Structure 1
């Protein structure tokens, strides 16, 4: 089968488009012919180093994906050949204490597609049936694939961790990336007021067009602006995946008792810690990664009922993968960069 895989670590010179062995479907698994995947920051991380993530080379890239079922077990009642589906990328052990209580995302030996095992940038993949979900019919394959990482991550951050309520104010750093845009769309559906940040005025304008209530130039004093926009009160929730560079502003933007949820550290993972502010103002800090199987089902139900459509920056064939990775690395995208697996 055709696949995009890494043969080493460094840059695009280690990203190869070529042939890899077809996956062998095991009992309890579903063989899926992939139609689309979208790029995530972890794709760059795996290409560049993959440090700290157990994997072997060559490895097929791609974390999320959507496609059509090719084969399932006889007697499977929920899934059938020819059905359009979307994949949950986290494969839990099903035995540890976290898996047993339904928190697969906390599994002590979880494996992610495109990180610990072959991923979705290929013609076929075989995964456990529990990781395969019917695709919302109103979405195309690229839009559906986008749900598996960015939108599921934003869902858990907003609703499981921060428990955002209607009327609250949410500050989202770095609008334009997949998680930040997903958080904007989901927070607005929840009835929140949303403030976003970016250095790019065009991204701020685009965010306003899809519902952002206010935009802040991230080159300015973000905390001061957030306070001004909330009449000195501060925001209820901060959603951030930037890390060290924005951490002081994130804490200073919060109302007393406010919540900050973080899922990334692209500018560093050792931020200054204003502990006095944390305990005096009784701030709540949550770490979050992806989401579990039940949360994914809830997200898909909301997408079906609300008509939400993920924001797609562009759709690319396999031959455009290097250029798409470059665009992601430069941060030029507004929305998800989709790779159409069934197009050359």
Structure 2
């Protein structure tokens, strides 16, 4: 079968499409892959900078959708069933074998590409907003890095929970796209962006700030929190890991909340099904996962380069020829 193989830990340039043996499927669900999500963990793992660090050669790809070829009898999955899987690795291939506990059914309302988009980003943000930030209807959510995969899923899910959304974005030309997704206001990430957010919240600030960026934006993200506000740390796409003096947390009565979804489901595996069920309820009420860019499997390095360069609005997927 064809697969994209990381031959050296040098990023997208260290990948090559090769013919490889089909994966061993003993005790696993073997899936014919239809679409693979392109996500930030895939990029990090190609540099050896992710918490999961396989040694080359290996096949990356943490998000897959497809059709079951075979499955253990006790898994509840049957050949021909449409499924999505949080595969961690192996998804940039024509077939992948995944532990049954990481495989979930795709509802008829979703196609394979949409379902591939529904995995890491939407699972992370449903977990982050509902369980970690305790979002309540009517609250204001500020979304940093709003044009990326985490940002677009946050906008949609925050709106689905009844929030007002202020999208903060660095990229030119993204405003109409973000408003179409549901953002109530769009603010450029430039000098004075925090003042603009405070103006839009009547000077009080936002109840929740979602930060997948870190870096220089972090300090201002803390400042735009309202009393009892929650800053949700998703990651550090900006590069630098920020630090915070705890007296600011104490005297402003704010919370800094981490949302590491991958780590959480390692210790709480039942959470995966619970969050999936919540996402499907949102889909049944009208939410549609964002897919804006499609690449054939052999162009996986290009997809990751575009992701790294900030050229992907929303979500990119790899599709089989």
Q: Is TM (by shorter chain) over 0.5?
A: yes
TM-score range, shorter chain: over 0.9
- In the alignment, which residue of structure 2 is the partner of 1:316? 295
Secondary structure (helix, strand or coil) at the match of 2:34 reads strand
For the pair 1:192 / 2:163, whether they are aligned, the reply is yes
Contact 1:152 1:299 in 2 (8 A): no
- In the alignment, which residue of structure 2 is the partner of 1:129? 100
Q: 1:191 to 1:303 in 2, by over 3 A?
A: closer
- In the alignment, which residue of structure 2 is the partner of 1:255? 226
After superposition, what is the alpha-carbon deviation per residue over 1:288-310, rounded to whole angstroms, capped at 9, x for unaligned? Answer: 12253133332343244223111
Give the CA deviation at 1:12.
3.0
For the pair 1:172 / 2:143, whether they are aligned, the reply is yes
Unaligned segments of structure 1, at least 5 residues: 90-112
TM-score of the aligned structures, taking structure 1 as reference length: 0.87
Moved more, 291-300 or 171-180: 291-300
Moved more, 148-157 or 312-321: 312-321
**Counterpart mapping for 1:260-275 below 5 A:** 260-275=231-246
- In the alignment, which residue of structure 1 is the partner of 2:41? 42
What is the aligned-residue RMSD (CA, Å)? 1.7
C-alpha distance in 1 between matches for 2:131 and 2:231: 13
Moved more, 51-60 or 62-71: 51-60
Contact 1:175 1:204 in 2 (8 A): no
| Aligned residue pair count | 313
C-alpha distance in 1 between matches for 2:221 and 2:274: 26
Contact 1:172 1:238 in 2 (8 A): yes
Contact 2:160 2:282 in 1 (8 A): no
**Counterpart mapping for 1:1-344 below 5 A:** 1-27=1-27, 29-50=28-49, 53-74=52-73, 76=75, 78-89=76-87, 113-114=88-89, 119-290=90-261, 292-340=271-319, 342-343=320-321
Give the CA deviation at 1:51.
6.1
Secondary structure (helix, strand or coil) at the match of 2:174 reads helix
- In the alignment, which residue of structure 2 is the partner of 1:106? none
Unaligned segments of structure 2, at least 5 residues: 266-270
**Segments of 4+ moved more than 6 angstroms:** none
C-alpha distance in 2 between matches for 1:54 and 1:201: 35
